[in-house]
Amino acid sequence: MDMINLTIDNRPVSVKRGTSVLHAAAQVGIKIPSLCYMKLEDLNIENKPGGCRVCVVEVEGRRNLAPACCTDVAEGMVIQTHSMRAIHARRTVVELILSDHPTDCLKCAKAGNCDLQSMAQHLGIREIHYEGEQSTFREDTSPAIIRELDKCIRCRRCEMMCNEIQSVGALSAINRGFNAVISPAFEMNLDHSVCTYCGQCVAVCPTGALTEVDHTGAVIRALSDPSKTVIVQTAPAVRAALGEEFGDEPGTLVTGKMAAALRRLGFNYVFDTDFAADLTILEEGTELLNRLTAFLGGDKNVKLPMLTSCCPAWVKFFEHQFPDLKDIPSSARSPQQMFGSIAKTYFADKIGVNRKDLVVVSIMPCVAKKYECSREEFSVNGNPDVDFALTTRELAQLINLANIDFKSLPDEDFDHPMGESTGAGVIFGTTGGVIEAAVRTAYEVFTGKKLDRLDYTELRGMEGLRHATIDFNGLPIHIGIAHGLGNARKLLEDIQQGKSHFHAIEIMSCPGGCIGGGGQPYHHGDAEILKKRQMALYREDSGKPIRKSHENPYITKLYEEFLGAPMSEKAHHLLHTEYFDRSKS
Amino acid sequence: MADYKMHLLVCGGTGCNASDSEQIRDNLLTEVEKHDLNDEVQVVMTGCFGFCEKGPIVKILPDNTFYVQVKPEDASTIVEEHLIKGRKVERLLYKDPENNEPISDSKHMEFYKKQVRIALRNCGFINPENIDEYIARDGYAALAKCLGERTPQQVIDEIKLSGQRGRGGGGFPTGLKWEITSKSVADQKYVVCNADEGDPGAFMDRSILEGDPHSVIEAMAICGYCTGSTKGLVYIRAEYPLAIQRLKTAIKQAREYGLLGDEIFGTPFSFDITLRYGAGAFVCGEETALIHSMEGLRGEPTFKPPFPSESGYLGKPTTVNNVETLASIPVIINKGAAFFNSIGTAKSKGTKVFALAGKINNVGLIEVPMGTTLREVIFDIGGGIKGGKKFKAVQTGGPSGGCLTNSFLDTPIDYDNLISAGSMMGSGGMIVMDEDDCMVSIAKFYLEFTLDESCGKCTPCRIGNKRLFEILDKITKGLGTEEDLSRLRSLCKVIKDTSLCGLGQTSPNPILSTLDNFYDEYLAHVKEHKCPAGQCKSLVKYTINHDKCTGCTLCFRNCPVGAIAGEKRAPHTIDNSICIKCGVCYDKCKFDAISVS
Amino acid sequence: MPKIKLSQRTIEIVKEICLSFENNEGELINVLHEAQHKLGYLPAEVQELIAHELNMSIAKVYGVVTFYSFFNMLPQGEFPISVCMGTACYVRGAEQILHEIKRQLNIEVGQSTPDGKFSLNCLRCVGACGLAPVVMVGEKVYGRVAPQQIRKIIAEYQEGCVRPEKHEM
Amino acid sequence: MNKIKSLDDLRQLREGMQAKIKLRESGNNSENIVRIKVAMSTCGIASGAKEIMNFLMDELEQKAIEAVVSQTGCMGYCYAEPTIEVTVPGREPIVFGDVDKFRAAEIIEKYIIHNELVDGILPVNYRSIDN
């Protein structure tokens, strides 16, 4: 492994061949400013179009400045990263970007989190010398994502995520020259395109061009309306990231403080989506076992492998791109929708409130959940099971708005009966978590024996495509795991060609699973944050008294009092759904 | 059958101050009449000899006497001395500049023919759709020699020795480029002929492909042999239907003759060529953008290295060469590197084809050895400025080049001189401009072109060029300030310094070179709000000269916006606030009563 | 983008073209050239069909179509007029020619006349600089054009000499 | 069309072609052929080269003059398109510029038939590399 020796800012540097100047400088503590460059370390996601030209540096003997992000080191190179010529060029380039950028930072959703804003401050830009025409594009509001392309700086991150990582292909660069921008086909709205709202474009967009639809206003109105009973459910991945918005180290668990904050915001009942996650395991686990026993019993046209269905972006993905496989995934609804459906029937009767006066708000690490709760089939004559889905970021905004000092809050519990959850429910938030939770329950129900170990480490990790075989008392069960829709596509193509030997497959649209969702605090391209959030969920799981979904007392009570048994007629009506062929949208 | 014994050819080229030549011809005719030789001697007007500096010229056949700077009154001496007494008129003979000896027979005066045709050697000679005619002129002999007698490395060395450099504009040594690709290891390599020719005002690639497609095919095969590629691709503009059709015929014939396809000449070397079409994107002239376009993608360039020679089309090593670069490869092999190397200057060898156009008499395709001066190209071959106007500047290198003024006319043309003169070789478009051209609007024209053709991927080119254009637009509308000029220059420098590809790195050149050479013109626009050349519409003022205006109301009737007022047969006036400066009145007025200021 | 229903014939033509290039995504530009050559222009529906046949994202096809100036999504006039805006023609007055055509047909560059007879766009250098300024109507080249001649050239097509076969959609 | 399988195949084909042309150019063979090349490049055709070529063929046929009229590439005289090159046996080839129908008829009448020169001759202003 040959090393390259060079000098950066008069300091000797020795790095591996193939390292970029940007990384070589970083290794000796020199931070070269960059805008469009992004690299998620072990998710092998890298965006280096070399388009923004902010990271240009001076290389001795080269006629013009070189972009540090995509110029590899060469033996004996002499580089000045912060010479006056490089700084002047950088300032002019950012001035040029600002000259074609709206100046409404005051009301922009990304203010304070915008890479362009911090770059302009870092470079001390006080005046834009080159005013002129600004490119303007039609604003587009879809159920989950708002596109304000006037703010697009053409960094191509969203195009890369949508095509190379998610393989959805909803976005592409269009036009040429000054009006070149990233947009769906025929500049149509997102909801006319194949977009699955996975939100990965929102997660990586450096400016306010792509943001989630803001529902904080609607929630505030509901909370301030005395005639409404407002209840909230919080998704598993939120508790491992919310703290970052208040300065906590990534991966700090804030479950207790979160419940306390929600109570102070005025929610009548503070519940936990993990409760519905346990419910999902019961329903989905049973469905898996039914198919397995049928398969073992010789039924040839049973649909195997079974695929998880809790990620709405993944559901919309196969409805658009693999309509012929739409009866293979589990028919179970996602935890968010199961919660809503139970809340507006079982719980509403319990507290004697009409479903129209019961407002269900969900806190999600994801923007696709905003789309999911707006789907036709998840409402009863116009009244949706889940009224609003807020992202982790929006919840943090609400907490700041209400001037709650988050860090000094005491830890509080969730309310009952829909606040109680098991360790299996918590790990829903990470890739490999849903299937591990399902295995814990399915094993005991199928074999009738107690689990000797609870931690299935072979199902854990960050690689995009993983598989493992679990021994169900002599019967080998093959399990596949994919996160990132690009990886999911590979498994689906195997299924289409009948080459897939898996029994069950867990699929999550976002790299890392829900902890890397489009609604989470911005990771600005640092993959370490995702790993720490994952560890936090596994920590909370191992700390829980009950760690298997079917041992959740409130779930058993729910079945006794209301649902009867998993996959019962009533459970089917309230907790299951069907899918639609959207390939001709 | 030849009843005329003698022919007197009088150069009638518009360059040779045409009025004199007609006068000379008439005098010669009357003299021939006077000595009743008119059934033995014929006087004929010809086109331009390409030696206008020494015009008007009279050439006498069959003894090939070449008289220069002939005046109408010399006609009688020529007839009496030369035709009747058979003695040549010494003082009119051309004096060889070295030894000042008069040259009587123009056969030895090869040197006044400034052009040397290598890339264009077959154009206008062979029928491009008949492979036999190409073979008759040593076609495919070079390929045969390479396959039969030489190793790839020997051929590469020959090309390196010849000093051939890329004719697309970059000037990268061709031999070196082939060598790098030959050294890259891959299961499949490609040879690409770049026939995108996006430069406006450049059409030499088209003429070569239309006139002599086989020389390009043969050169691509040779390149394939040297670099170890078995597949050739021609990336050609969709705007050249005839060149595409001729290329297809030539490829088909070459395949029928076994000169393309498997085991050429019975050797293990196989090579075939397919076409890829451009679709109207100037940026696709850049190597990496071209490769993306061939892969069916948007023609957006990517950073280099990696250079296409290491990883290009479909990620495989690819050699990209311009049409003109390839066309002279067979000659280098057939006549040897030394022959090619003997032509041109120290660092720029061989010849360059120029598309001479603009305000010039002999618009045309010329091929001159490197080192020829601009003066020879414009005033000799080009026949001087059209309509006898004054030369102002010549623009080389298209939207990436700059303009050269009088003081550069004697600069020998080669890659490095042009760059140090603030322009560049480019693909060879050479647009001549005269006193009526406003250099600010020329710079604006090129910026508008770059604006339309920028791919929009990188900030300096996408937004920077737009701002440059807006500043220039302000200046041509008389709204510019002096501070704009300094801002223009500094933004140009940053764009050149930071753009991702050649298009952005060179788009400011037209501005910088017009700023350097015509700063006073910029000042006139900015300070006095006047356009010296009268081109910038909003700065032009049309006024009616009252003593010349007869009140014929022609201008009044034709003015599209009704800006002209006046009674019949009384002098009219133009209201400049309404006038849109379309110039219709100026063209229509028969009494030249309307002046432009 | 008004929705138009593609005739079965058009669908066949497009499928044939894609097949002739083995439905290979890398041949997109050749497919688009052939489709525009046969159908006259590339409406959204044709692009959707091509994306489906080549098994690639529609947004990518649209991205390519809008990148290259040669492809157009609106039907061309029966007699497409193109003015060469290369440097040689510009220096010899192409701008006045363009201005005159705009005035005569009162349409902007890129538009077609209401009756669909003429469309106007600019070309980047047709390569006939000897005949500058050059105007093309369809495949026919007019050289050394003067503004005064524009009326005559348009009139020539106004009475509608031979009508090229109409591309039905 | 036999495939060229080796180097000498190529050499033979070339010699054969060159002999045929020399024969024609030396003019001493029986059928005394006039060769006319018409510059058929894009700008040539745009200036009417196709019509001129057809006109020449018809005229020469009418006047029963043995001639071969073939197309060729651009000769570089854009300002004088359409351009044609006429090679009368035993004479140097001569290039004529601005050849419209009227001038083409004049060339046939005066130059080919009566060996008189005609206005508009374009002198060769370049050196070729054959010699």
DSSP A54-70: TTEEEETT-SS-EEGGG
- Please tell me the predicted confidence (pLDDT) of residue D28: 46
Chain-centroid distance, C-alpha B329: 21
In this structure, is residue C52 part of a structural domain?
yes
Catalytic residue among A369, A370, A532, A548: A369
- Residue length of chain C: 169
Residue C162's pLDDT band (boundaries 50, 70, 90)?
very low
Chain B nearest-CA residue for D80: B362
Query: CA A212, A213, A215: angle at the middle one, nearest 5?
Result: 120
A514 is catalytic: yes
Question: Would residue C46 count as lying in a domain?
Answer: yes
Specify the pLDDT at position B246: 92
Of C48, C59, C67, the CB nearest to A184: C59
Residues 6 or more apart in contact with residue C78 via CB below 8 angstroms: C116, C117, C118, C163, C164, C166
pLDDT at B44: 82
pLDDT per residue of chain B (597 residues) written in tens, 0 to 9 = 346 788 888 887 665 655 578 888 888 888 888 888 878 888 888 777 777 777 788 888 777 788 888 888 888 888 888 888 888 888 888 777 667 777 766 665 665 678 889 999 998 888 899 898 899 888 999 999 999 899 999 999 999 999 999 998 878 999 999 999 999 999 999 999 999 988 888 888 989 999 899 999 999 999 999 999 999 999 998 888 889 999 999 999 999 999 999 999 889 999 999 999 999 899 999 999 999 999 999 999 999 888 999 999 999 999 999 999 999 999 999 999 999 999 999 999 999 999 888 888 888 889 999 999 999 899 888 888 888 889 999 999 889 989 999 888 998 999 999 988 888 888 888 999 999 899 999 999 999 999 999 999 999 999 999 999 999 999 999 899 999 999 999 999 999 999 999 999 999 999 999 999 999 999 999 998 888 888 888 787 888 888 888 888 888 888 888 888 888 888 888 888 788 777 788 878 888 888 877
Instruction: State whether C88 and C61 are in the same domain.
Output: no
CATH number at residue B462: 1.20.1440.230
Q: Residue C48: its chain A contacts at CB < 8 A?
A: 185
Query: How many CB atoms lie under 10 A from the CB of residue D28?
Result: 9
State residue D19's pLDDT score.
75
* Structural domain count of chain C: 2
Q: Find chains touching chain B: ≥3 CB pairs under 8 Å.
A: A, C, D
Distance from CA of A170 to the nearest CA of C (A): 6
Quick one: pLDDT at residue C3?
65
CB contact under 8 A, D73 and B207: yes
Q: Which candidate from C48, C63, C69 shows the least CB-CB separation from A172?
A: C63
Q: Do C108 and C144 belong to one domain?
A: yes
ipTM: 0.88
Q: Please state, in angstroms and rounded to a whole number, the distance separating the CA atoms of residues A469 and D37.
A: 80
The nearest CA of chain D is from the CA of C82 a distance in Å of: 15
B564 domain-assigned? yes
Separation of CA D118 from chain center: 16
Across the interface, which of C127, C130, C134 has its CB nearest the CB of D79? C130
Residue numbers in chain A where pLDDT is lower than 50: none
Among 3.40.950.10, 1.20.1530.20, 3.40.50.300, 3.40.50.720, name the CATH number for the domain at A281-333+421-525+537-575: 3.40.950.10
Q: Chain A residue with minimal CA distance to B499?
A: A53
Residue A303, pLDDT score: 84
C-beta of residue B140 within 8 angstroms of C-beta of residue B100? no
Q: Look at A163 and C60 and tell me if their CB atoms are within 8 Å.
A: yes
Of the candidates B148, B166, B404, B458, the one whose C-alpha atom is nearest the C-alpha of residue B285 is B166
Shared-domain flag, residues B490 and B385: no
Q: Output the pLDDT for position A118.
A: 94
Sheet with strand B429-434: strands edge to edge: B364-369, B351-358, B429-434, B391-396, B402-404
The subunits that touch chain A, with at least 3 C-beta pairs less than 8 Å apart, are: B, C
Q: Is B363 on the interface with D (CB under 8 A)?
A: yes
pLDDT recorded at residue B110:
60
Residues of C with Cβ-Cβ distance to A171 under 8 angstroms: 59
B259 and B317 both lie in a single domain? yes
Q: Are A406 and A262 in contact, with CB atoms under 8 Å apart?
A: no
pLDDT of residue B582: 77
Q: Do C59 and A183 make contact, defined as CB atoms within 8 angstroms?
A: yes
Active site residue A287: yes
CB-based contact (8 Å) between B258 and chain D? yes
Tell me if residue A330 is catalytic. yes
**In a domain? residue B358:** yes
Residue C91 to residue B358: CA distance in whole angstroms: 6
B103 and B152 both lie in a single domain = no
Average pLDDT over residues C40-53: 94
* Contact (CB<8Å) B457/A51: yes
Chain C residues in contact with A486 by the CB 8 A cut-off are none
Catalytic residue, chosen from A114, A152, A162, A310, is: A310
Distance from CA of A32 to the nearest CA of C (A): 32
CB within 8 Å: C129 and D78: yes
Residue C130 to residue D43, Cβ atoms within 8 A: yes
Cα Rg of chain B (Å, integer): 28
Per the annotation, the verdict on A284 as an active-site residue is: yes
Closest CA to A523 of A105, A89, A39, A73: A39
Q: Which residue has the tokens 């024609």?
A: D24
**Min Cα separation B170/chain A (Å):** 14
Same domain, B142 and B277: yes
Residue B533 falls inside a structural domain: no
Q: How far apart are the first and last CA of chain A?
A: 52
* B residues 44-63 lying closer than 8 A (beta carbon) to D: 44-51, 59
- Show Cβ contacts of residue B339 under 8 Å, excluding neighbours closer than 6 positions: B331, B332, D129
Interchain proximity B258–D4, CB inside 8 Å: yes
CATH architecture of A140-212: 2-Layer Sandwich (3.30)
Q: Which of A212, A245, A283, A287 is catalytic?
A: A287
Q: Is B387 on the interface with C (CB under 8 A)?
A: no
Point out the domain boundary residue: B393, B416, B434: B434
Cβ-contact A321, A314 below 8 angstroms? no
* Main-chain phi, psi angles of A577, to 5 degrees: -150, -175
CB interface of B with C, residues 502-561, below 8 Å = 560
CA distance A350 to chain B (A): 59
C85 and C146 inside one domain: yes
What is the reported pLDDT for C13? Answer: 95
Q: C145 and C96, same structural domain?
A: yes
Same domain, B176 and B292: yes
- Nearest chain C Cα distance for residue B351, angstroms: 21
Residues B513 and B574 in one domain: no
- Tell me the C-alpha distance between B368 and D82, whole Å: 23
3-state secondary structure of A415: coil
The CATH number that applies at residue B245 is 3.40.50.11540
Residues on B contacting A at a C-beta cutoff of 8 Å: 281, 298, 300, 302-303, 305, 451-460, 462-464, 466-467, 470-471, 487, 490-491, 494, 496-500, 505
Per-residue confidence (pLDDT) for residue B104, from 0 to 100 = 67
Residue B7 and residue B83: Cα distance in Å, rounded?
A: 10
Q: Does the distance separating the beta carbons of D41 and B364 come in below 8 Å?
A: no
Alpha-carbon distance values, D121 to B1, B9, B46, D25, D94 (Å): 20, 9, 4, 20, 7
Domain range holding B397? 351-434
The answer to whether residue C123 is domain-embedded is: yes
Decide: D and A in contact? Rule: 3+ Cβ pairs under 8 Å.
no
For D16-84, the three-class secondary structure string (H helix, E strand, C coil) is HHHHHHHHHHHCCCCCCCEEEEEECCHHHHHCCHHHHHHHHHHHHHHCCCCEEEEEECCCCCHHHCCCE
Q: Structural domain of residue C130, as residue ranges?
A: 79-158
Q: Which of B250, B246, B182 is nearest to B218 (CA)?
A: B250
Q: What is the pLDDT of residue C165?
A: 46
CB atoms within 10 A of CB B262: 11
Chain A contact for C59, CB < 8 A? yes
Are C85 and C142 within one domain? yes
Domain boundary among B398, B418, B434: B434
Q: Does D46 touch chain C (CB under 8 A)?
A: yes
Q: Can you say how many angstroms the Cα of residue C43 is from the centroid of all Cα atoms in its chain?
A: 12
**pLDDT given for residue B280 in this prediction:** 87
Query: Is CATH 3.40.50.1860 the right assignment for the domain spanning A216-275+336-408?
Result: no
Q: Is A303 exposed, middle or buried (0-12, 13-18, 19+ CB in 10 A)?
A: middle
Is residue C50 in some structural domain? Answer: yes
Identical fold at A3-99 and A216-275+336-408?
Answer: no
SS3 A274: helix
Is A310 among the catalytic positions? yes
The answer on C102 and C44 residing in a single domain is no
Query: Is residue C31, in this structure, part of any structural domain at all?
Result: yes
| Predicted local distance difference test score (pLDDT) of residue B25 | 85
Mutation choice for B interface testing from D65, D72, D99, D113 by most B CBs within 10 A? D72
Domain positions in chain A: 3-99, 140-212, 216-275+336-408, 281-333+421-525+537-575
Which pLDDT value is given to residue C51? 95
Q: What's residue A257's pLDDT?
A: 95
B338: its two tokens: 């030394």
Are A441 and A424 contacting, i.e. CB atoms less than 8 angstroms apart?
yes
Query: In terms of Cα–Cα distance, which of B526, B458, B436, B449 is closest to B488?
Result: B526
Same domain for B317 and B194, yes or no, is yes
B345 domain residue, yes or no: no
Residues of C whose CB is below 8 A from A184: 59
What per-residue confidence (pLDDT) applies to A176?
94
Q: Could you tell me the CATH number of the domain that includes residue C132?
A: 3.40.30.10
Q: Is B367 on the interface with D (CB under 8 A)?
A: yes
B277 contacts in C (CB within 8 Å)? 29-30, 33
Assess whether C110 and C55 both reside in one domain.
Answer: no
B194 shares its domain with B229: yes
User: Annotated catalytic, A377?
Assistant: yes
pLDDT at B340: 94
What is the pLDDT at residue A301? Answer: 82
Predicted confidence at residue C168, as pLDDT, reads 53
Give B199 to chain C, closest Cα distance, Å: 8
- For the domain bounded by A3-99, which CATH number is listed? 3.10.20.740
Q: Which pLDDT does position C103 carry in this prediction? A: 86
The pLDDT value recorded for residue B145 is 92
